[in-house]
């Protein structure tokens, strides 16, 4: 599946490890939430980065104690109508200050891409290469937003306030 990260189509360094497969001693891996929570201590001693695939019906509070050990949190959109992963992403970015890669997986659609960016996602697994190209170009389309959200960009209001402050300071 193509991966879009930082507005570019990129190779995925992470390998998904099935629940019944052995965990490699090194290398970047993505594992299920259940498998991660079975033994997070052992997984943090591995030689490579670890990521977790977190379902949208599981409370992110269960993940919070381990955020500093995770290189990737992959949040799942099981259908395009199910937006719980948006809330999870905002909680992880805004309340818990997670700064690692936040990946959208599952039903990741073109028309929801900007909303996913605004919620704090910075990587996207898409089904088709044409979608990956569209995602990459869309990420550069908008530079100013009105609503504050998890992607860290300042809002149009804050931008105006900074401009006024700098103008009044120079007078």
pLDDT digits (tens, 9 = 90+) for 117-151: 888 898 999 887 777 777 767 766 766 666 666 66
Q: How far apart are CA 12 and CA 64, in angstroms?
A: 24
* Structural tokens at position 116: 């996913």
Eight-class DSSP state of 37: H
pLDDT in tens, 151-166: 666 777 777 888 888 8
Burial of 116 (0-12, 13-18, 19+ CB in 10 A): buried
The pairing of beta strand 72-77 with beta strand 50-54: parallel
In order of their start, the domains of the chain are 3-142 (3.20.20.70)
In this structure, how many other beta carbons lie within 10 angstroms of the beta carbon of residue 36? 23
* 66-116: pLDDT as tens digits: 999 999 999 999 988 899 999 999 999 999 999 999 999 998 887 788 888
* Predicted model pTM: 0.81
Q: Would you state the pLDDT for residue 96?
A: 96
């Amino acid at each position: 599946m193509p991966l879009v990260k930082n507005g570019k189509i990129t190779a995925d360094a992470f390998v998904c490890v099935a629940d019944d497969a052995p965990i490699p001693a090194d290398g970047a891996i993505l594992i299920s939430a259940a498998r991660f929570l079975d033994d997070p201590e052992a997984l943090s001693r591995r030689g490579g980065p670890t990521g977790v695939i977190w379902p949208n019906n599981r409370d992110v509070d269960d993940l919070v104690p381990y955020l500093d050990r995770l290189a990737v949190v992959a949040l799942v959109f099981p259908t395009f109508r199910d937006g719980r992963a948006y809330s999870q992403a905002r909680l992880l970015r805004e309340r818990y200050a997670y700064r690692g890669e936040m990946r959208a997986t599952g039903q990741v659609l073109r028309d929801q891409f900007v909303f996913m960016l605004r919620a704090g996602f910075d990587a996207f697994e898409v089904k088709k290469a044409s979608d990956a190209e569209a995602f990459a170009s869309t990420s550069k389309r908008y530079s100013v937003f009105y609503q504050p959200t998890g992607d860290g960009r300042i809002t149009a209001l804050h931008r105006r306030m900074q401009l006024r402050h700098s103008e009044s300071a120079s007078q």
